[in-house]
Structure 1
Amino acid sequence: MSGYLDTPEGRRIAFNRTDGAGPGVVFLGGFRSDMDGTKALALEAWARAQGRAFVRFDYSGHGKSGGTFEAGCIGDWFEDARAVISAQAAGPQVLVGSSMGGWVSLLIAREMPETVAGLVTIAAAPDFTEDSMWAGFTDAQRAELLTTGQTTLSSDYGAPYIITRRLIEDGRDRLVLRSPLPLPFPTRFLQGTADADVDLSVALRLLAHAGGDDMRLTLVKGADHRFSTPDCLRLIEDSVAEVLARIGG
């Protein structure tokens, strides 16, 4: 089922839901990605073959959803995910967060732990607006951001990104690596060693920082940020299956 959800904040979010057994699986995509990406579609096909409920969606300003990308921030995209999970997913879910979606899924786990049965992250990028963007800006970029409200950041995926002051400042209110982060459910972090966007140190920091009794980090030598080779896709599927088995789903 494809449709649109109007969030309490007034944003229109595109989603696709596959009905099936629970606990269901929700895919949370990355920064400027969309729900028709390779990982989302591969995992949806896997879930359908398993008879498992599955939801994918586009944050506001992404894909088929309303709004513009430049108007959004981490808090908005967290609210979008919260609205979709609340309206389209029945019972606790296994969240699969890719890159920025890893950060959003951690926010969901912190703010709505009752909705999370398990977690799989793929090249998770928690706190990246502060630790990667702001920390990596030149003095000129910081000055431009503060005076004009935006700056540009080169991208390996196409046109440069427009980074707004709102994105950076809102991100500071959503940081997850500066305070306790309990993850009291099966959690699997996946990370490629050749990821040029999210350094291996981020995965190690997340593993060390988060609290939980069933948590593992799997490193894939040579895998890049896309993490979309057949072997990587299979590892994502196997990790979701492992989490489901651990919770008896």
Structure 2
Amino acid sequence: MTDIPMPDPAPLAYFDPGDGRKIAYRARARHPEVTGPTLLFLPGYASDMEGTKAVEIDRFAAAAGLSYVRFDYSGTGSSGGDFADGTLDRWLDEILSIIDLLIDGKVILVGSSMGGWLALHAALNRPDRVAAVVGIAAAPDFTDWGYTPEQRQSLVDTARFETPDPTGGPPRVTHARFVASGTALRILHSPIAIDCPVRLIHGDKDEEVPVGVPFKLLDSIHSGDVQLTLIKWGTHRLSEPHEIEAILRTIAVLAERLS
């Protein structure tokens, strides 16, 4: 990984899914001699396409000649809109619009945390387009189990709560409508009718997404080709060099197999 020079980033571009939203993305073209699905990276909650994992996958895709798209949900990063308007169904609609409007052929979805949850829904909505799913510390249904009693009480009292930003920025605000959208998109309470390959990568010291969550996914997804990689001492970020290496190795094997 560290021996591969950082390529120039694909130019920042924007697209409108049909209702005036300004969604920022970077699309790296496939090398003419390379075949296979396009990689599509789905960020986590309040994250964007310039994070460590998104950029390292870009480095890998450039070296492998693979097509790669990364983007920012509306209200985050370089995209237009207000973060307060963000809901899971709104952001899922943006993912599906990218698949439909910006990508030709098959797609490997690589979803981080909340992006892993949305990747599962995208696979359910586009079974003919999604060739595989990679969930990095995937957090399905985190609006059910991911909040403290104090945060839930704040949602009742004020329809919102704040959490500190780990990077030192302004506090992150979670709104009641986002939580309601999560309730509508719960996925762990019933069998998940996904038949494509699914790869789950999780840290055994993840304090944000309990390790029982990927095991529940392993049991719930219909596909017989589901694998869980558990990384010792791995936290929720999974951004250490050996953790990034495990992620890239997983993507490389899938891309080669599906080319």
Which residue number in structure 2 is paired with residue 84 of structure 1? 98
Residue 154 of structure 1 and its aligned partner are, at CA, apart by: 4.5
**Given the alignment of the two structures, is residue 211 of structure 1 paired with residue 211 of structure 2, yes or no?**
no
Residue 156 of structure 1 and its aligned partner are, at CA, apart by: 4.1
Note the alpha carbon deviations across 1:50-88, whole angstroms, 9 max, x for none: 111000000011100011212211111111111112221
Query: Which residues of 2 match residues 160-199 of structure 1 at below 5 A?
Result: 160-199=171-210
Which residue number in structure 2 is paired with residue 17 of structure 1? 27
The count of residues paired between Structure 1 and Structure 2 equals 244
Note the alpha carbon deviations across 1:135-175, whole angstroms, 9 max, x for none: x333xx43442343222234545443211110111111111
Residue 197 of structure 1 and its aligned partner are, at CA, apart by: 1.2
Note the alpha carbon deviations across 1:69-126, whole angstroms, 9 max, x for none: 1221111111111111222111110110000100110110111111200111100000
SS, match of residue 27 in structure 1 = strand
Quick one: which amino acid aligns to residue 245 of structure 1? E
Distance in 2, Cα, partners of 1:245 & 1:22: 7
Which residue number in structure 2 is paired with residue 101 of structure 1? 115
Which structure is higher in helix share? 1
8 Å CA contact 1:16, 1:55 repeated in 2: yes
Distance in 2, Cα, partners of 1:239 & 1:145: 38
Decide which of 146, 150, 174 is 2:156's aligned counterpart.
146
Distance in 2, Cα, partners of 1:181 & 1:9: 30
Quick one: which amino acid aligns to residue 133 of structure 2? L
Identity in percent: 37
Decide which of 236, 244, 250 is 1:225's aligned counterpart.
236
- Report the CA distance shift for 1:54/1:122 in structure 2 as closer, same or farther (over 3 A): same
Length-normalised TM-score, structure 2 = 0.89
SS, match of residue 22 in structure 1 = coil
Distance in 2, Cα, partners of 1:107 & 1:45: 27
Quick one: which amino acid aligns to residue 137 of structure 1? P
Query: Which residues of 2 match residues 128-143 of structure 1 at below 5 A?
Result: 128-133=142-147, 136-138=148-150, 141-143=151-153
Distance in 2, Cα, partners of 1:9 & 1:79: 11
Which residue number in structure 1 is paired with residue 7 of structure 2? none
SS, match of residue 91 in structure 1 = coil
- Report the CA distance shift for 1:231/1:142 in structure 2 as closer, same or farther (over 3 A): closer
**Given the alignment of the two structures, is residue 62 of structure 1 paired with residue 62 of structure 2, yes or no?**
no
Distance in 2, Cα, partners of 1:154 & 1:35: 21
Quick one: which amino acid aligns to residue 230 of structure 1? P
Q: Which runs of 5+ in 1 are unaligned?
A: none
Residue 233 of structure 1 and its aligned partner are, at CA, apart by: 1.0
- Report the CA distance shift for 1:142/1:232 in structure 2 as closer, same or farther (over 3 A): closer
4+ residue runs over 6 A deviation: none
8 Å CA contact 2:164, 2:172 repeated in 1: yes
Distance in 1, Cα, partners of 2:205 & 2:52: 19
**Given the alignment of the two structures, is residue 2 of structure 1 paired with residue 2 of structure 2, yes or no?**
no
8 Å CA contact 1:27, 1:57 repeated in 2: yes
Distance in 1, Cα, partners of 2:75 & 2:232: 33
- Report the CA distance shift for 1:144/1:225 in structure 2 as closer, same or farther (over 3 A): closer
Distance in 2, Cα, partners of 1:178 & 1:110: 15
8 Å CA contact 1:119, 1:243 repeated in 2: no
8 Å CA contact 1:187, 1:243 repeated in 2: no
